[in-house]
Every structure is written in structure tokens, then in C-alpha cells.
Amino acid sequence: MLIIGINFTSFAQNRTFSDEVGVETKYIKSYPNPASSVVNFEFQKGYNKSYSMQVLNTIGKKIFEAKNISSLLSINLKEEKFYRGIYIYQLIDKNGIVVESGKILVVN
């Protein structure tokens, strides 16, 4: 399979921003992972409620988006038409900057 034009190096690991002391802050806990019917994203204290959440497939197409998220976001994978594979989630601030990203595996 040949994929052209997308740089996956930034997707290869969970990205987090460091706070003023240099300690990484992780805002998202995703579970279960791998998931078959539902995936939950639990947002830890300190995240900004104005952030949005996007889920992309491996070719960069946006599959799901939620704005003004609460402390728990559940996605019904069957209802949202997620197919077997790897997906990238991104927590994005109001300026469009990715605050955190990670991977989920769908095994339905």
C-alpha cells in the first residue's frame, strides 16, 4: 500500500505539551484500546473545555469531531462507521494547534 503526501512521524507517538516546569501533561486517557464497539476518552483535570477532539483515519480523513467536550466522550464505533484499523485522535486548541494526539485500534 502506497500513501503519498502525509507525514506520519507526528502520529507515531502520543504528543503532549510540557508545562512551565518541563513536566509533560497528559490530558486524555482512551479505553478500551483496542476497541470493538465503543471507545471512551476521559479528559483529565486541567484540559480546556474549548478544545475540540478529532479522530482521523490513516490517510488523514476526519472520521469524527466533537467540540466543547466534557470530561468523558464516548464514541459508538458502529454508529459512526469506524472500520477495522488504526485511527489517530487529536485534541486541538482554539487556534488549531494539536495539544495531544494518540492512536486507537478498532477490531470490530
pLDDT reported for residue 25: 67
Q: Please report the sign of the dihedral spanned by the C-alpha atoms of residue 80, residue 68, residue 92, residue 94.
A: positive
Nearest to 75, CA basis, from 33, 47, 44? 33
Residue 102 CB contacts under 8 Å (≥ 6 apart), including other chains = 14, 15, 28, 30, 88, 89
pLDDT reported for residue 46: 74
pTM: 0.74
Per-residue pLDDT of the chain (108 residues; tens, 9 = 90+): 444 444 444 443 444 444 444 455 688 999 999 999 999 999 887 778 888 999 999 999 999 999 988 889 999 999 888 999 999 999 999 999 999 999 999 997
